Structure 1
Amino acid sequence: MANRMKVDLCIIGAGSAGLSVAAGAAQMGADVVLIEADAMGGDCLNRGCVPSKALIASAKHAHSGWSNSEFGVQEVHPEVDYAAAKDHVHAVIDAIAPIDSQERFEGLGCTVIRKHARFIAEDKVQAGETIVEARRFVVATGSGPFVPPIDGIEDVTVHTNETIFDLRERPDHLLIIGGGPIGMEMAQAHRRLGCDVTVIEAERALGKDDPECAAIVLDQLRAEGIAIEQETKAERITKGADGLTVHTSKGDFSGSHLLVAVGRSVNVEGLDLEKAGVAYDRKGLKVDENLRSTTNKRVYAAGDVAGGMQFTHVAGYHGGQLVRSLVLGLPAKARTDHIPWATYTDPELAQVGLTEAQARQAHGDKLTVVRSEYAHNDRANTERRTTGLIKVMVVGGKPVGATIAGHLAGELIGLWCMAIANGLKMTAISNTILPYPTYNEINKRAAGAYFSPKLFDSAVVKKAVGVVQRWLP
């Protein structure tokens, strides 16, 4: 006999989106069931953001000794223990895991079921021996790595973000198919940890980002010895005695290990969404601007499976919006115009809102693009971090997008995220007093660049100043 439960809210998936909804709803008094068949914390904690940034941190320490001499410190070439670097990765995961643990969420008031969930009706889900009937459901099952059907790929060991962090033998030569954020982050990390690295990208590396700013990052990666083959499609893979070879439209590339990072596919298999009357496609569930299923009003989606941007912070944002609507009954439409993203290479690359190309297409002659170079920032000069650029897209005195390539770009973009999310004008940035010297002054200098022509190149202003000067005692 199956156990039966009737609750306010049933959440499928304990990643960033599901945990955000569960924590908020349970603490506000809703009766919540959280179902997760895999590890608590989802992809971000166990196979994505956290382990990748931990490995990048190890790589930065390995690399730092190579550039000591310009600071008056003897250059050193540290020995890298690749397995120990992976120990660091898993220690970081273990340190964060209690925050996402089953015990914590049970303590918040959730019922946690560690089984695979599948719909058996429009208002019912079965997980193991338990049938859950709920007023509302949130599908937050996330996504997994997509492995393309390249001829011969089934004959070699393929690493993805789900396995690369468990690899303890340092690759002699890592081949990476895919030049997006994951591919480029892992390329630089492995190069700094002592591997030869070749990136094979069918189109343009970092192709979703502003080309000018992406070029700043790619130039640095090439300078560190990473081979980046763009507009090069992987057509076939063969296994050899010493590794493997990727045969492409522009030649053959051989290496010892293969990492595939060409995109993500949403996790909907086995949910039996059809039995709940929930429409979906390869991008995820069909939802409206309230994240509500267009075909079953009891069902909502959050995170990657909602069919939009696939970022952990978007999943968390969706979770907050659903707490607002499902628990408090308040209107909560999901926006995308204020969503940022960052690639944690060195230098970093960050974006919020529209890129320059998108802004020109959307706003035409109404657009003003202002720029500020890292080389003009005093703090950047003290630390020899002068390679970098910020571009801000402004319409009607308000920023509609910002792109930053350079040191700490992922941190600096936060000011523009706040401005765009809250509809602030450029005066809000230019009026802000910042401590000196800080990298954040790059942002303020960009705001100043917007006003400078209006103040210093205006005949009207100069005439008015002349009058004021003659009038002042």
Structure 2
Amino acid sequence: MTRQVDVIIIGAGTAGLYAMSVVKQQTSHFVVVDQGPLGTTCARVGCMPSKALIQTADDYHNAQRMVREGLLSETPTMQPQAGPAFALKISHMLSSKISERVSGGLGEKLIQGRARFVAKDTIEVNGQTLQAKAIILATGSEPVIPAPWRAFGARILDSEGVFQLQEMPKSLAVLGLGAIGLELGQALSTLGVAVTGVEMAQHVANLQDPEIRAMALEQFGKQFPLHLGHAASLSEGENGQIRVQAGPLDIQVEKVLVSLGRRPRVADMGLAEVGIALDARGVPLFDPTTTKVEGAPIFIAGDCTNDRVIFHEAAEEGKMAGFNGLREHPQRFQRKTPLGIIFTDPNIATFGMGYEAALAAGAQMASATIHTESRAKVMGVEAAMVRLYADPATGRLLGGALISPRGEHMAHTLVWAVQGGLTVHQMASMPYYHPNLEEALFAVSSALSKQCKGGYEGVPAGLIPA
């Protein structure tokens, strides 16, 4: 017998829970299907435990600096299990609250099991058939590990398993230096692990801007060795270690952290069998302004879209899917200006239009060093920079990139300026408190203002004629 409901939400992660928060305002006839474990990826094994590990590393680094400056008399000693244990504690605290709220609050509306489509509006789970007016697909993603490497067992870590370590390894190779690999690699290196980074591309963090990219390579290369431009191969080493080879690199390490990205969790769900058009990665074709899948009463949100795989984007897509699920004509929504932040030290951030797109659009570009600002000198900043791109005809800020301590805050200011349509002329006329890292924004916006039309001519930078 088929059970009829208004909405089926597949996945109780960030996107699914945000979708549910909107759906429940429209109907009480919905179910949430989740294969477990309950608790969002962010809270369990993603952004929150990684930030706990990074915070531990930052605190340890700051303590070491205070010893060097003569402010502390005793060199701190890091306990081998301290970093992962703290990250696991934070993970458990946050994810348990979410899972308790989901399991306790939903009651019979929660079905724990794996869903499979048997029609465009119907799924099977645990031998039960459910049909709905709308299905919201929010199944998230999972780390990619090449199948042959799984033979190394517990010596291979992914970005989730690293938080389950009982203690830190003595040596570690990080394969893949995107956001996750760079964050975890630097944190573990700071905590005393002998880390070696390997990246097949010639850059880290997928950075496009050549000036930011060069500074990033210089700064992170001082902290742990980076080997770029070669794919890695793994084989058995001596004394239970793993041999890692990549171009001229040939080392043996205790463990390997594989950070080659994440894949959408949409395989083996029967999507193709019921006639859903899929892209090359098996993701349903959909409209990102509505989240609706082509030719079906299905809406897709979160990391399983393989589009904007960031928490705030997943939350927004979840709300869009929840809002549109029961509407006869889905509402289109404007998407927010792209913002990406990597929580390394220094932070890396990109906002708005990327470098290559800005270059193709004929944008004017300018840069300013941040480490030369007075506040940066007090902080001991060695190198930091902000780059902005603007429309030469109007001075409107289009995007940019930066590498700087506390850059996460500056990046928010800048992405708000992009989305708000501010010009570099307006940015140069904003108040900048001294001493502050943001004073570099005055320098770069003033320089860019001179290259673009529409500014206040004949007056010093920063002044507004009355």
Q: Same fold (TM over 0.5)?
A: yes
Provide the residue aligned with 2:87 in structure 1: 89
Contact 2:241 2:252 (C-alpha < 8 Å) held by counterparts: yes
Deviations 1:179-213 (A, max 9, x none): 21111111111111111011111122325213321
Matches within 5 A, 1:195-206: 195-206=193-204
Which residue type is aligned with residue 461 of structure 1?
G
Q: Using structure 2 for the length normalisation, give the TM-score.
A: 0.88
Q: CA deviation at 1:31?
A: 3.5
Question: Which of 53, 56, 80 pairs up with 1:58?
Answer: 56
Instruction: Supply the distance in 1 between the matched residues of 2:277 and 2:99 (Cα, whole angstroms).
Output: 31
Instruction: Go from structure 1 to structure 2 and tell me whether the alpha carbon gap of 1:390 and 1:107 turns closer, same or farther (over 3 Å shift).
Output: same
Q: Is the 8 A contact 1:12 1:140 kept in 2?
A: yes
- Matched residue type, 1:387: A
- Structure 1 residues 365-444: aligned runs within 5 Å: 367-385=363-381, 387-395=383-391, 396-444=394-442
Specify whether residues 301 and 251 from structure 1 end up closer, same or farther in structure 2 by C-alpha distance, changes over 3 A only.
same
Contact conserved, 1:54 with 1:89, CA < 8 A, in 2?
yes
The CA distance in 2 between the partners of 1:386 and 1:250, in whole Å, is: 30
Q: CA deviation at 1:123?
A: 1.1
Letter in 2 for 1:291: T
AA matched with 1:44: C
Cα–Cα, structure 1 residues 385 and 30, in superposed 2: closer, same or farther, change >3 Å?
farther
State the aligned residue count.
453
2:107 & 2:341 partners in 1: Cα distance? 34
Amino acid at match of 1:35: V
2:320 equivalent to 1:321: yes
**Taking structure 1 as reference, are residues 323 and 398 closer, same or farther at Cα in structure 2, changes over 3 Å only?**
farther
Partner of 1:114: 112
Tell whether the 8 Å contact from 1:66 to 1:75 is kept in structure 2 after alignment. no
The 3-state SS of whatever aligns with 2:183 is helix
Q: Give a deviation string over 1:125-165, Cα, whole Å, max 9, x none.
A: 22224432211111111111111356x66245311012111
Structure 2 match to 1:461: 458
Shift of 1:41: 2.9
Matched, 1:308 2:304: no
Cα distance, 1:109 vs structure 2: 9.3
C-alpha contact (below 8 Å) 1:286/1:307 kept by paired residues? no
Amino acid at match of 1:137: I
- In the alignment, which residue of structure 2 is the partner of 1:188? 186
User: Which position in structure 1 is the counterpart of 2:339?
Assistant: 340
Contact 1:23–1:105 (CA<8 Å) still a contact in 2?
A: no
CA contact (8 A) 1:202 1:233 kept: yes
Letter in 1 for 2:285: K
Cα distance between partner residues in 2 of 1:437 and 1:356: 29
Contact 2:234 2:242 in 1 (8 A): no
Do the aligned partners of residues 371 and 15 (structure 1) sit closer, same or farther apart at CA in structure 2, a change above 3 Å counting? same
Superposition map of 1:215-254 within 5 A: 215-224=214-223, 226-254=224-252
Amino acid of the structure 2 residue aligned with 1:40: L
The structure-2 alpha-carbon separation of the partners of 1:178 and 1:434, relative to structure 1 and needing over 3 Å to count, comes to same
> Does residue 154 of structure 1 match 2:151?
yes
Distance 1:207 1:430 in 2: 29
Task: Answer yes or no: is the 8 Å Cα contact 2:179–2:205 preserved in 1.
Answer: no
C-alpha contact 1:122 1:276 (8 A) present in aligned 2: yes
Relative distance call for 1:131 and 1:334 in structure 2 (3 A) is farther
* Aligned CA distance change for structure 1 residues 118 and 132 (closer, same or farther; 3 Å): same
Q: How big is the shift at 1:348?
A: 0.8
Verify the 8 A CA contact 1:322 1:332 in the aligned structure 2: no
Q: 1:441 to 1:10 in 2, by over 3 A?
A: farther
Counterpart AA for 1:360: L
Distance in 2 (alpha carbons) for counterparts of 1:331 and 1:264: 30
Change (3 A) 1:110 1:431: farther
**Residue in 2 aligned with 1:125?**
123
Deviation of residue 381 (structure 1)?
2.7
**Cα separation, partners in 2 of 1:109 and 1:353, compared to 1, 3 Å:** farther
Partner of 1:461, secondary structure, is coil
User: For residue 286 of structure 2, what is the aligned residue in structure 1?
Assistant: 287
Quote the Cα distance in structure 2 between the aligned partners of 1:106 and 1:376. Answer: 54
Q: Which residue of 1 aligns with 2:20?
A: 22
Amino acid paired to 2:405? H
Pair 1:448–1:305, CA change in 2 (3 A) = same
Letter aligned with residue 295 of structure 1 = G
8 Å contact from structure 2 (residues 84, 168) kept in 1: no
**2:176 paired residue number:** 178
TM-score, length-scaled by structure 1: 0.87
**C-alpha RMSD over aligned residues:** 2.9
Instruction: Note the alpha carbon deviations across 1:100-124, whole angstroms, 9 max, x for none.
Output: 3353576489922221111122211
Cα–Cα, structure 1 residues 14 and 435, in superposed 2: closer, same or farther, change >3 Å? farther
How far does residue 67 in structure 1 lie from its aligned partner after superposition?
1.6
- 1:235, 1:161 → 2: CA distance? 19
> Are the equivalent residues in 1 in contact too, given 2:201–2:228 (CA < 8 A)?
yes
User: What's 1:331 paired with?
Assistant: 331
Is contact 2:292–2:321 with CA below 8 Å preserved after alignment?
Answer: no
Q: Structure 1: 5+ residue runs without aligned partners?
A: 463-467, 469-473
Contact residue 45 and residue 91 of structure 2 kept, 8 A: no
Q: Percent identity?
A: 23
CA contact (8 A) 1:98 1:104 kept: no
Tell me the SS of whatever aligns to 1:284. Answer: coil
SS of equivalent residue, structure 2 residue 4: strand
8 Å Cα contact 1:243-1:256 kept in structure 2 = yes
Q: Which residue of 2 aligns with 1:273?
A: 271
Contact 2:33–2:110, Cα closer than 8 Å, also in 1: yes
CA deviations over 1:43-93 (Å, ceiling 9, x no partner): 222111111111111111122122225655136432112323222112212
- CA distance in 1 between counterparts of 2:316 and 2:436 reads 29
